[in-house]
Amino acid sequence: MKNDSIGVDVNMAYLEEARGKEPRGQEIPALPEEDFQIIGSLKPRVDGRLIVTGKAPYTRDLSFDKLLYGRVLRSPYAAAEVVTIDLSEAQNLPGVKAVLKLKEGQVKYEGEPVAAVAAASQKAAEQAAGLIKVEYKRLPHVVSPEKAREESAPRVHESGNVEKFNEYSRGDLDKGFAEADVVMERTYKTAVEIHHTAETHVSIAKWEEDRLTVWDSTQAIFSVRDGLARALSIPASKVRVIKTYMGGGFGSKLGLNDHTVIAARLARKAGRPVKIVLSRKENALCVGNRPSTVITIKGGARKDGTLLALHMKNYTCGGVGRGDRSSEPLIDIYRCPHVKVEEYTVYTHTGASRPTRAPGHVQGTFALEGFLDELAAELGLDPLELRRRNSTSANQGDTGIPYSSKGLLKCYDQGAAKIGWARRNRKPGDGQGSKKRGLGMASQIWWGAGVPRTLADVKIHPDGSVEVISGTQDIGTGTRTYMATITAETLGLEPEAVTVKIGDTVYPWAPSSGGSQTTPSVSPAVRDAALKAAAALKRLAARKLEVSEEEVVLARGKLFARNYPERSLTFPEAARELRREAVFHGERGDLPAGFVYNSFGAHFAEVEVDTDTGEVRVLKVVAAHEVGRIINKLTAESQVHGGVIQGVSTALFEERLLDENTGQMVNANLQDYKIATSMDVPEIIPVFIDMVDPRINSLGTKGLGEPPRIPISAAIANAVYNAIGVHPREIPMTPDRVLSMLRRKEAGS
Ligand code: MOS
């Protein structure tokens, strides 16, 4: 299936190719003997000290000689006509070096860019922006998705406010419902979530003659480069994009931003470098959000839990942009012969959505997994047993092609054991007292196969120093650490001995860091380059040590003969024999045809609900994942912690709030937009199945960036259901919502 939310269509291409072909595997070169293995261990981050001591350079920290500060003036209105823009007063303010008009015609959301200035100080830039006179003619707006669906609502786009953007079907829905013993219909809602990266968006643009260099806090240096070249009508070969360290992206930094182009245009006009740092408010309004969803599922099953029919309707809202396709988990993860999906996007006068950590899957999983728990209760079945009974080893949405590997049943076994699944209430709501505890779980499926033909180089200098180089970017996940680890292990060195160079478009091509594709793209490319380097060094050493190449072992900073360890060269001695710096090019191989590539997981949550206050506390989460081979256990655990914390946060707190009268966001800050803090974080127990996928790539590893974000809110909602006996079909589960659910239950409705 195509992951079009993030522009990844690799899996689709390979699925097409897979049909009717002989399945084949992939060669996975053996790792060194266990004593010499670093892959899979708990190695600390190579740059951990740099980061925690505040010395790692983030884009926001960078400064340049003669740097100017840019500021974008944005529409305060959700819908208006820009009649005139008068820049003269701003232009005359001392220190102002460039001004730009950006908008003619209609603005369609609060925060849309209208004009921009660059000045010698941040303060002057802000002051100048305040002096720009814009005459607006207000137009009617609609910011509520429910209202936008009404016939009389103001139109956001000419084509109308509701647009069907996805349809899917297999089997015969009516037949499925006719055969079912139980048919249920439920509606689930998720709120708009803001990415709120710790580091807000930042771009710095600097021209030298006709060459542009941009430092950007981005997940995708190559697509920013190509986008800038198009926007400015210059060749991509004249644009260089650099990303140093970044404080989070979660999808909001996957593409080219308005403010990056604006910085480049201001810099060209002023003849000086320009830096634009977005404010927290701008970050909330104009650089994306996770679309809301209203998902109705009608499902039919036999008494024993066998799923027969699923019909899903989704109304999703991504503001002036499109909502999220959220049906993938329902289409794929369980066996069900009769399925129909209809997805509609609803347009409103709010900032456009962007991919947000597992776009669509998060919302679709909340609905599907909630529905399954309600169905299990109706059938009197253990919710986990219901899922086991419908498990499958072949991809359902794509006519039964087998998964390259699937460890979901193992996730169920190990997760259930770790949380103590037997402790759950047999019947939802059975708990005693005013503080009720419950257990819930949910399954997860995601892509994350990685991108074929990703490149990486290993460079060995005659003095023995080693570099590993790729145009990938570390978005906080630990890319530098595993690149160093893989190179070091293959060459018999320690990770600290390897210099990692990433985040620059002058380096060999790598894909954007989104879609959980970085590790399964970059790590096999690095491994390939390092194996080539090791082979070259073995050849040299074999001659010197008078043994065969096969007998040479690279370990502990040496090259030695396996059976004559006293015959050895130090790594620098061997490198010196290369005589000049030697570059070894690595490439990630293809995805073998005949399989579908997905990752799997299951989260188990324990909650306590205070039925007097409506407060939900998440006590414990066991997060079991099968993502092929684990490259670094420590950074993998970090991914799981981050995903779980984000999921706790959106399950309980996060929600963009809009004033329907003004069309403005009322919580565009971190005081009113609630995010989980340390006191809300549960005990988190990551569990990795750690099985090598025998096909996916030369390390047998899948991506883990998004998976731990996918099932967590659903698992929490199901745990709340288990605790209080009424299912929270809407997130965030704020105390007022929980209390009104409890009242509904008491009233017996
Ligand atoms: Mo992610 S939403 O692919 O950064």
Question: For ligand 1, which residues put their CB under 6 angstroms from it?
Answer: 6, 219, 249-251, 254, 355-357, 359, 514-515
pLDDT digits (tens, 9 = 90+) for 690-731: 899 989 999 999 999 999 999 999 999 999 999 999 999 999
Angle at 56 between CA 264 and CA 449, to 5 degrees: 80
pLDDT in the model for residue 15: 55
pLDDT digits (tens, 9 = 90+) for 66-120: 999 999 999 999 999 999 999 999 999 999 999 999 999 999 999 999 999 999 9
Average pLDDT over residues 231-246: 98
User: How many angstroms from the chain centroid is the CA of residue 581?
Assistant: 37
pLDDT digits (tens, 9 = 90+) for 163-209: 999 999 999 999 999 999 999 999 999 999 999 999 999 999 999 99
pLDDT in the model for residue 1: 38
CA of 5 to the centre of ligand 1 (A): 9
Q: What is the 3-class SS of 240-266, one letter each residue?
A: EEECCECCCCCCCCCCCCHHHHHHHHH
pLDDT digits (tens, 9 = 90+) for 249-278: 999 999 999 999 999 999 999 999 999 999
**pTM for the whole structure:** 0.95
For ligand 1, pick from 518, 706, 709, 710 the residue to mutate: most ligand atoms within 8 Å of CB.
Answer: 706
Average pLDDT over residues 664-692: 96
Closest ligand 1 atom to Cα of 513: 4
pLDDT digits (tens, 9 = 90+) for 428-440: 999 788 999 999 9
Residue 158 contacts by C-beta under 8 Å, 6 or more apart in sequence?
Answer: none
3-state helix, strand, coil in the chain (%, to 5): 30, 25, 40
**Cβ atoms within 10 Å of 40's Cβ, excluding its own:** 18
Residue with structure tokens 């892509």? Answer: 447
- Whether a cis peptide bond, with omega within 30° of 0, leads into 355 is no
- Indicate whether 10 pLDDT > 60: no
Residue 209 contacts by C-beta under 8 Å, 6 or more apart in sequence?
Answer: none
Which residues face 402 on adjacent strands? 394
CA of 73 to the centre of ligand 1 (A): 28
pLDDT in the model for residue 222: 98
- The SS3 assignment for 3 reads strand
Which listed residue (369, 606, 706, 730) is catalytic? 706
- Indicate whether 14 pLDDT > 80: no
pLDDT in the model for residue 8: 44
CA of 6 to the centre of ligand 1 (A): 7
pLDDT in the model for residue 734: 97
pLDDT in the model for residue 7: 43
Cβ(220)–Cβ(503) below 8 Å: no
Cβ(611)–Cβ(725) below 8 Å: no
pLDDT in the model for residue 37: 84
Closest ligand 1 atom to Cα of 354: 2
pLDDT category of residue 5 using cuts at 50, 70 and 90: very low
pLDDT digits (tens, 9 = 90+) for 383-418: 999 999 999 988 877 668 889 999 999 999 999 999
Closest ligand 1 atom to Cα of 475: 4
pLDDT in the model for residue 23: 60
CA of 323 to the centre of ligand 1 (A): 15
pLDDT category of residue 16 using cuts at 50, 70 and 90: low
pLDDT category of residue 746 using cuts at 50, 70 and 90: confident
Return the exposure string of 296-324: e unless at least 16 CB atoms fall within 10 Å of the residue's CB, then b.
bbbbbbeeebbbbbbbbbbbbbbbbbbbb
For ligand 1, pick from 2, 3, 4, 6 the residue to mutate: most ligand atoms within 8 Å of CB.
Answer: 6
Question: Which residue lies with its CA nearest to atom 4 of ligand 1?
Answer: 251
- The SS3 assignment for 46 reads coil
pLDDT in the model for residue 745: 85
Q: What is the mean pLDDT of the chain?
A: 94
Q: What percent of the chain has pLDDT over 90?
A: 89
CA of 512 to the centre of ligand 1 (A): 9
- Indicate whether 3 pLDDT > 50: no
Q: Return d(Cα 468, Cα 491) in angstroms, integer.
A: 12
Average pLDDT over residues 509-517: 97
Token pair recorded at residue 353: 């959505």
Can 706 be counted among the known catalytic residues? yes
Average pLDDT over residues 636-646: 97
